[in-house]
Structure 1
């Protein structure tokens, strides 16, 4: 009865100790009692399993006799003082053991170990170029296996049995970045094995077409096609032409250009850059605008006195100007919008005169404007002779005036411009020749008047330069 209770206690303890191992490897129990092993033969042992001998009664041993080559022999007492012994199986084959004291009494046992499923795949990675191709992995197994790839660009041998080869076929890598395909090889009952194919990135490529876009002078936009396998940037060297600043892979560059108001064509260069590839340049060639020309006002009316007037030229190109009269001269050329200054001399004649200014632009009809100058306002026929003498005439610095006897002793002297504006007014005595300073007067023609009583006497004075 005591032996039965003791046996039950050991069995309970055995089950408690077994629980942590059940999820990792199989533990096969052999009870040692009454001169026999129970069970005496075990056939379902796998490599990695554990054989555990558990004492129930008596004094015994577990001692290996014939075992597979490479397996470790064992010899251990199984007693109340040494109640258990464990042996981890590492080699497949048939194992025989005995209880040394009781072998002659038939206390023998055995167990048979099968190899179980095996699986290994090598190498762990294959580095391949960016071009399409294939590479191989070696499978070492004693079972049927399957293989799958996680990338559509890499296809593999789907299955095999025992030792074999996995062929991985890969397509060309169209991008510049490295990519990796993971191949999973599986055998039922074993952890899956994974290997990888690491494919290098392609060399950067970049092309832009067309090489040039011809566009009209009016504002608008045009496009270029980018063919690339990489990120790229684009820039323009002209502020009047702006472009799409960046992109990735194949794409389009839109070039927006402003109106060209000049008659000269202009070119913007667009530079496209991708790291690792040669820079590409394309151009936008914008034609010049049609030439324009207008001149205003069409006429300037001016007094007989010398002076200048301004005409406004509105144009988008170079122009020239020419006068048909030597008394009216102007700047002969200009560019774009500018002032046209006409300088005219004093009109000493008694007739209105007109100067024509002709402004010319290549490719356009000439524009003509005029300067119309009034006639002189003084007639020498109205000036009485013999009242006083004026000399020298013309004069630069001074003039001398002598008076006839028929004029009063005191007179009033005035010098006026041809438009009637008085520039000098002073009383004079007629008792002697008088000298008058005219150095401060501008050059031109003046009317010198001597008034005696109510009667004026006049002569023309020419102030020389």
Structure 2
């Protein structure tokens, strides 16, 4: 320019050199654009007597950013919370993929903190929650929370093998397993409290004696087996133990499933409710009346020491199966092939209902019944004839009959017992002389002759179905012939013999 000029910007975020004379420059100073959108400032230059000149400054928008630290947080098995730091210039969302035990701050804007709150991990296995932090226009960030498991207990008390044995009866085992074979578990005493859902009793009255110990079922010495069971308290089974008998009395097994305390039987006065579960669970060692604590004491360096029992940690119920559910039935194998000798063979029944089995053959006995899983033992007699089969029908009310088969081989031979007295060798009283030659007995002591036995077709005598030669005929007239099992018709018997030896 060759004159004085002024400059004016229309945006507060952009300031310019206000004036000058002649040639020069305008310096435009702008602040940071924290928006994601670009923006424009117009600068108007004015010289008296001339049309104003307008120039512009276009500033780019900022880019969204997101970072979360640390990438991983390791926490203990106890319940608690921990924080992750967020650095961002935009709003963000946070989501945990394990909401059942790990919840997080759901959202924020700009820099902030995500607090992850987690429940106690009652398992001995560690678990991981992945937290996804996302914002528009930027890749999501993933961080993890790893919660350690409980320390493996020195021992497990576990209830298992729950089996329904009748519509109103079920049985179960209690075991104690030593988890540390290098340090033998020297047993002192125990007692058990077991909670259950009374709904499965189907409205029947709960009685003190409805749960019993099955005699002879314990691995423990008699002086340490449970002394009594009481089910008088609603929804609770109390199993009382005996007094300790001293260190070294019994060492708990470290081989799974452990030492069986006993097997127990619960008998209801009514069939269990359909499609119900007992929902059994041990009480803790800190339970108080009217509950009943589960307790166990062991000898440590000879001192009787009470242990802490925590349900779900070292006191476990491994199953709570469906009782009186929809009936099921499977029998295996479908076919058993056996030899002609007498014997027995087993079929495995897998069921949850009452069943019965019947055989369609008198030589195969398999008539039995049961409830739930069981064994059908099919006992069969010796087969002295052709191959044969017996069908065993297994029935459950409301289900198709399942049929399994026993196939028994034919006998390898049939025995034909004959008595024939030869006139030329006959003495008296049913006795014949042995055949002699110039050297004395020709066939040996007690043998009158060697004969040939032929079986001729009963309808056509000229057709010989079978022939056996060199059969010893005893001086008492007895001869034994083995014939093939396939011969099962009517035959004429022809005996060929000699009256003298030449």
Query: Which one scores higher on RCO, CA 8 angstroms, separation ≥ 6?
Result: 2
Q: State if a TM-score over 0.5 links the two structures.
A: no
Higher Rg = 1
TM-score band by shorter chain is 0.3 to 0.5
- TM-score with structure 1 length normalisation? 0.34
Higher helix share: 1
